[in-house]
Amino acid sequence: MTTKQIEDFDTLVGNADGEEWLIIQQADGTTKKVRVDVALASGGGGDMAIAVYDPAGMAEQAVGLTEAQTVTNKTLTSPVINTAEINGSLTGDAVLDENDLVSDSDTKLATQQSIKAYVDTTADVQLATTDVSTAGWVVDEDNMASDLNTKVPTQQSTKAYADAVGAAQVSLTGGTMSGTLDMGDNIIQDVVLKNYSETYQMDAGVSTTHNVDLDDGNIQEITFAATTIVSFTNPSASAASSVTCILINAGSYTVTFPGVIWAGGVAPVFTSSGTDVVSFVITPSASQIFGFVGGLDFT
């Protein structure tokens, strides 16, 4: 305790138990208001000897509103911190250092070291160095027949599948087909054909009825053995179709083409022992069939 002799005080107020407020004037003209324990001189009317006026001691116990101060071992209860800079280490119950992250807390922090340890040691697989072919979530199928959305393929099976599919495609820069290309009645536009051929269908011993099936080809040879009614099947439903028929010995029997519109409105007279060539143009869905002679009596 520091004891000072104070003179010329301005005001003294207080209560009966001896705790007083004293306003004093300092050397620089400013005033201070302090609480003191007062002991009056026994003779009265003299100076007061007072204690506890200790501004330096108070500063050591109080936290200022604007001063930069170091607070050691203090507890802050429910603080609201808008902006904070933490230098050094962060420790305490709010920070967990568990390599296995076993607490699984959503209210505490994990240290950098524990996060790294967990990732390094508990990841399912280190892809850069580990053979995963036996893992349950890996499938190795060159044709990817399982078609699973819960597993991943191996690199080899991915390559094999892509290579197989790619080999079945025609490159935009060109290539050689090795099978049938079914366009499904779709349009091939602005095409240049070179050295092309047409499917040739041969039917022998035809009698009674005969269907010229356009799916069998656009050039069809028909050898007749009896009277026959000829019709057409599978023309395009959305486009015109055409077929050329090579008729063998059609004149030996009564061979008719119901529904065909012949040039001049008269059906040709076919050759009894020989070959006739006639062509047909069929409008969409066979709504009309036009027939015309390419040549008769090829012998």
Mean per-residue pLDDT, 251-277: 96
User: Distance of alpha carbon 23 from its chain centroid, rounded?
Assistant: 76
pLDDT recorded at residue 120: 79
The structure's pTM equals: 0.48
pLDDT recorded at residue 271: 97
Q: Which amino acid, one-letter code, is at 298?
A: F
d(CA 297, CA 249): 9
pLDDT recorded at residue 170: 73
d(CA 148, CA 140): 12
Percent of the chain with pLDDT over 90: 38
DSSP state of 150: S
pLDDT recorded at residue 294: 96
Q: 232: part of which helix (H) or strand (E)?
A: strand 219-233
Least confident of 27-36, 41-50, 108-117, 277-286: 41-50
Q: For the CA atoms of 281, 284, 289, 290, what is the dihedral angle to 10 degrees?
A: -40
Q: What is the pLDDT of residues 265-291, one digit of tens each?
A: 999 999 999 999 999 999 998 899 999
Mean per-residue pLDDT, 188-192: 92
Cα separations (Å) of 105 from 26, 101, 285? 58, 8, 72
Strands (E), 91-176: 95-96, 109-110, 138-139, 152-153
Q: What is the pLDDT of residues 49-107, one digit of tens each?
A: 444 444 555 545 566 667 777 777 778 788 887 887 777 777 888 889 998 888 999 88
The yes-or-no verdict on residue 208 having pLDDT over 50 is yes
* pLDDT range class, residue 125, cuts 50, 70, 90: very low
pLDDT recorded at residue 215: 94
Contact assessment for residue 23 and residue 9, using Cβ atoms and an 8 Å cutoff: yes
